[in-house]
Amino acid sequence: MLATATLFQYLARQFLFWLGSVFLILTALFEVFDLVEMLRRASSKDIPFDVVLQLNLSKLPHLVQDVFPFIVLFGALIAFWRLAKSSELVVIRAAGISVWQILAPSLLVAFLLGVFQITVYSPFSASLRAKYEELESEYFSNGSEQLTVSKTGLWLRQTHEEGQAVIHSRKTENGGTKLTDVTVFLFDKDEKFDGRIDAKSAVLEKNQWVFNNATVSEINGRGELKEHYALPTNLTEEKIQESFASADTLSFWQLPEFIKTMEEAGFSANTHRLRLHSMLSTPFLFCAMVLIAATFSIRASRRSSTAFMVLGGIMCGFLLYLMTNVVHAVGLATGLPVSLAAWMPAGVSVMLGVTALLHLEDG
């Protein structure tokens, strides 16, 4: 029992070491390449270097988070390959220990790492991503529309030729292009209150909001009832959808409440629901990466095995990335349940890894 526990700890430490090494190498590469890209974008604008560096560092955790499955894959590939090349795996197998017992420490570490990512790393990454998008909008974008969805409904700020308008609606339909129980606060170019509009409903048409049964009140309090009233706007349905908080800026703990709020307000939350289920599948996806890595590296014994391992790992990583993007796009664009689209890459990868290892073990 003591020998088994010692072996378990040794294998777990080996996997953690190479996992950390790959993580640090890829993080350094992302930092350098993204900083160069930020400097290129900032070269045409008068942006201080400290702001560029702040943008770069705020974006980095999210970039690393997206490639965590590949970090696990390549960390496991190197760890198992090193153990096989040093004949340690041969000795372990000769002692009567099965491949599943050898993989147990790495699978446990990978699963716990997945739990850590969605519960701890995700909130950290999401908060910095929100900061990055705020800075990017301030320094690189000229958009002036802001949209917020809360329990009280939708709040939208827009600019027009005569000033600004803050629109509030308790209920929306058709992707935010039809509003119900609408109140609009009007401000002039100096941001002074200029009037108010109350309407039963409003519909977004080309370059204007059309309010039905609207009461238009001036700053002196006089109100005028109008059957139809038009307010200029440059918003479209696509811009409204894009104005929502990005799923990447919300942590695992914030997503359920945000999804509920969006659906109560009448918007589709499929993108955010897909993100939530993708997070939930992360521990199992990491375990799948360990299983796939083992099929390529755990029996390595010849020089030719190195090239096979590297090529196989790269191909598997590329195919998994491609499959994930395709399945997610299908889930958002068709009637395929987003929960199924989110769990499919992890489920298929686990089944393929288990099948390959069963074949190797029986052989």
* Residues belonging to the chain: 363
Do residues 203 and 214 make contact, with C-beta atoms less than 8 angstroms apart? no
Q: Which of 99, 77, 15 is nearest to 296 (CA)?
A: 77
Task: Return the closest-CA partner of residue 68 out of 105, 120, 103, 32.
Answer: 120
Per-residue pLDDT of the chain (363 residues; tens, 9 = 90+): 455 788 889 899 999 999 999 999 999 999 999 999 888 888 877 788 888 888 888 889 988 988 899 899 999 988 988 888 888 877 887 777 888 888 999 999 999 999 999 999 998 998 888 888 778 877 776 555 566 766 677 777 777 667 788 888 877 776 667 888 888 888 877 778 888 888 888 888 877 888 888 888 877 667 778 888 888 887 776 666 655 656 777 888 888 888 887 776 666 778 888 889 999 999 999 999 999 888 887 765 544 566 766 677 778 777 887 888 888 888 777 777 888 888 988 888 888 888 888 877 654
Q: Which amino acid is residue 198, in one-letter code? A: D
* 123: Cα separation from own chain's centroid: 11
Gyration radius of the chain's alpha carbons? 27
